[in-house]
Structure 1
Amino acid sequence: METARLSFGLAAAVLIPLGLAWQGPRPWRTVVFTLAYGLYAAAPYAREGRAWLALGVAVLVSLGCVLWKHPAGMPQLGVTVTLPLMAGRLARTRRASVGVLVAAVALTVWSAGTTVAPLSKDLFLSDRAAVFLSAALISVFGGGALAKAATGPVRQEILALPDSRERRAAVEFMSAGRAIGLLERGLLFTFLAAGRPEAAALVLAAKSLARVPTNDHGKHASEYFLIGTLASVIASLAMGMAARSAVGLPVL
């Protein structure tokens, strides 16, 4: 189980920023996320040198991806903080609502602390929970990188089309798919990891009814839809089977 937790966790630490394309516009966030999530994956085995070695490898891989996107060298830190400076009655209302919500959360934590703390500790140290969490994140965000790479040639063909109604419709169809893809892969992984592939089939059926391209989008949009869906299914199926196998469950 130790090997599974480290493998899934460190893979997620590297692949999630790649799936979100942070290595370009947010290079330092990429490395910080890899380090933070890697520490979570390796925390129960902090006394073993192998865990720290694996974490170091993951951080180096993440740093290498950043440097690959910036061949001239590491970009400057350039931290910019923007605060929503608001004034007036609406601002006071929003600040009051935030204060109420914070107070509610604090009260909940204080009243349930004796129960939540042991459960949170057990969940944090649970190898099985870490494996499934890491596999889910790899499926959702790493699968996004796979889908983006698989649909790249079709996207280029669409962008190379002359300006027309079909091109505009296809571009609009592509731009609306990212959030749907994240939700699709998350649901597919959840059902597959739970051993309910029939429910995963319902997710695909629902997506086909809600987002199937029409004749107005053209054949390129249909190819984009089909390739992206298959890439999401492959990522979710592979990670669901791998996670179940790692914790000793049947693959399906």
Structure 2
Amino acid sequence: METARVSFGLAAAVLIPLGLAWHGPRPWRMVAFTALYGAYAVLPYGDEGKPWIALCVAALLSLGFVLWKHPADMPAFAFSVTLPLMVGRVARNRWVSAAALSAAVGLAAWSAGPTAGARGRELLLSDGVAVFLSAALISVFGGGALAKTATAPVRREILALEDGPERRAAVEFMSAGRAIGLLERGLLFAFLAAGQPEAAALVLAAKSLARVPTSEHGKHASEYFLIGTLASVIASLVMSMAARTAVGLPIL
């Protein structure tokens, strides 16, 4: 429970102000929140060293994000650093930001020590992890190639249309699909591999509500949407079933 409290608490101390974008308009509020909430998370274990080291890691991460976001708006230091490619206050704060983030990573690695090394080696050598990771990559990126191949005829038909509102709307609809497709296949694979096909169905429902083509996009865009979605589903379903079968789990 100690590890869970410290890990979740420090993650919240850094991610909540990032999610609220406090590193932008309210930079010092982010640092203060990270310090106070992080102290709350580690306080019951104040007689131990590692929780406080973890708090220092969180504080350095917070400071690094703030300095990187505000390279020229922070108070100037009492010395000047001049380099060929980066000069003035921007260079100083960006270097301090990079140093803070590097220190956070180094301190976390040192604090984790042999335990993290053993766990990392266990994960690295785990056949199950390798199978699911490879299957996920095939599903996300290989499924993209499958979707691109399957939708190629429709794409050619759209590009062959006469220039007009329908063609422009359809081309715009297609151009916004790549990132959505990657996320869609990743979520589908994750839920199917976890044995939660109902959650995978919710992903498809959410996509349909947010991205379904309208009449102004024309019938070609509807065909593109349907074929691409089915290709993504097939890739994610096949790879998740294959991965689960390979490690001895039920197929779904």
RMSD after superposition = 1.3
Rounded to whole Å, the distance in 1 between the matches of 2:175 and 2:156 is 13
2:241 counterpart residue number: 241
Rounded to whole Å, the distance in 2 between the matches of 1:216 and 1:88 is 52
3-state SS of 1:208 partner: helix
Residues 1:217 and 2:238 aligned together: no
3-state SS of 1:190 partner: helix
Rounded to whole Å, the distance in 1 between the matches of 2:232 and 2:91 is 42
Q: 1:85 to 1:157 in 2, by over 3 A?
A: farther
Q: 1:85 to 1:150 in 2, by over 3 A?
A: farther
Higher-Rg structure is 2
2:190 counterpart residue number: 190
Structure 1, unaligned stretches of length 5 or more?
1-83
Rounded to whole Å, the distance in 1 between the matches of 2:91 and 2:216 is 45
Rounded to whole Å, the distance in 2 between the matches of 1:159 and 1:171 is 8
Structure 2, unaligned stretches of length 5 or more?
1-83
Query: 1:1-252 counterparts in 2 under 5 A?
Result: 85-252=85-252
Q: 1:161 to 1:90 in 2, by over 3 A?
A: same
Residue identity over aligned pairs, in percent, reads 78
Rounded to whole Å, the distance in 2 between the matches of 1:220 and 1:85 is 50
Q: CA-to-partner distance for each residue in 1:103-131, whole Å, 9 max, x for gaps?
A: 10110000002211000000000001000
3-state SS of 1:112 partner: helix
TM-score, normalising length: structure 1: 0.65
Rounded to whole Å, the distance in 2 between the matches of 1:115 and 1:229 is 43
Paired letter, 2:244: R
The structure whose RCO (Cα within 8 Å, separation 6+) is larger is: 1
Paired letter, 1:142: G
1:27 counterpart residue number: none
TM-score, normalising length: structure 2: 0.65
Paired letter, 1:193: A
